[in-house]
Structure 1
Amino acid sequence: MLEKIAFSRVHFSYGRKPILADFDLLVGAGEFVSLVGPSGIGKSTLFQLLAGLLQPGSGEIRLDGSSTQQRLGRIGYMPQRDSLMAWRTVVENAALPLEIQGVPAREAQERARTELPRYGLAEWADAYPAQLSGGMRQRVSFLRAVLHGADTMLLDEPFGALDGITRMEMQEWLLAMWQHTRTTMLMITHDIDEAILMADRVILLTGTPITRPVELPVSIVRPRAASSRNQPAFLELREQIWELLRQAMQEPSREERLVR
């Protein structure tokens, strides 16, 4: 497996509150990895460290095999909320990262416009965000992240704000897009079914601080669809993940153990 992302013995704290301690994680190029864990444990902090918004207290974070603190701007990011600019059209929103990189606005928008058919947005190029459904807004957000030019993407609960039917449609759409691009993707989700459906591996983040993540390979054959949830292997893995999470939430943190 060609290394794309690596955390090696990383420590990070917010003041006196430890988040990561001696943390290791390896993600291969073109891999789709889901991150699952209790709320507030530090999943988004992991993304901020990887994106260069935060720096570790110690340890090493590598991209493409090289250790660097200059990670900012090298990784695409798709948040839970699409954050589209209400005064810009679909094509203008999608073109924004190219404009930030110095591409003239007209050229940037033409490049974005050529990509719209692949995202099912060709007929909505000149529409404004208020005219779009939630799923369409997320497609624009994804296209904007892709046009950023990075071959690694962080998805922070990208479908959490969508209704159930739209969420399932977007899951299948994103699976198809990933099959086409083979971009390295890390996705945070609280939905165990979503984590399994999308990923090559599910990483469970547990404990305070997080030390050794639990890695569970997903053996469900690709291509996958909503019907994959009915496979025995899917159901078994779902139960295994839920049981591990249940055990983790019952375990005391390191601070609680010290008090005792």
Structure 2
Amino acid sequence: MDDNLPEPVVTPRKPAATVPLQKPVKKGLFSRLFAPKKRSSPSLKPASMPVSPPPQKPGRASRMPGKKVFIAIGVIILLLAIVGVGVVFVYPMISGSESSIPGLPTGIPGATSTPATTSNPVASGTFVVPVETTAPAAPATGVYAHISYIGSWKATYGMPAALQTSTDSGDRFLEIENATGPVEVTAEKLDSSTRHELLVEIYKNGGLLSSGKTSAGFGKVTVSADATTGVGQASKVVSGNVTTTTKPVTNVTTVKTTSASATTVSTVKTTAPVATTKTASP
């Protein structure tokens, strides 16, 4: 019975369908930029090879400016100084020579500029205007000590038995009351100035009897006269350790007046300092 069984029919297998190969998709610019990068596997080094030390970080550069920086700063300062000097000194001279008329070009031969008259504003403040003053006239009556010095002075004046003291400055007339007989005046500077004179005089009824002066620092002048006769005595000037004495000489002048009825002869005495003696104190 087994021999009569039909043989199995073998059907041939169909070949599998082949999938066509697709071309790789080309990546665009953005896809290449943002695509993950392939990491390369680190190369394995043998253990026997020496390991190189990590690179050292570069040291910080010095913050101090170099020599060239200082030279450049010096050149800039020098140029600024030159420009400033030119503006201060050169520009006024150039602007003064140019034409002051608007619209008139400068540098044209024959063109003249007319300076404009401007009034300068008066600055607020106090101005001291020096005024020349004349010395006051001596009083017409009485005996006076006259002391004149621009600085401070100290004086004693009067009759020898009744001297008075005064400390002042400038030009002053000091009356010597009830003056009879000899009177004297001594005045001295209270500073070391030598630019201005100290003048000391004695007047009677507006007329000069005696005088003396000095320009020495801390100089002292002493004058004397007879208030009764009106005759001046020797004046004494002390300058440091030098004393100068000036003796007046009495000049007699005779005036003769002739008339038909009588002849009148009057005598006038005048004094003039002519003799001078200097004495140096030790």
TM-score, structure 1 normalization: 0.22
If each structure's helix is expressed as a fraction of its own residues, which one has the higher value?
Answer: 1
TM-score, structure 2 normalization: 0.21
If each structure's strand is expressed as a fraction of its own residues, which one has the higher value?
Answer: 2
Max Rg structure: 2
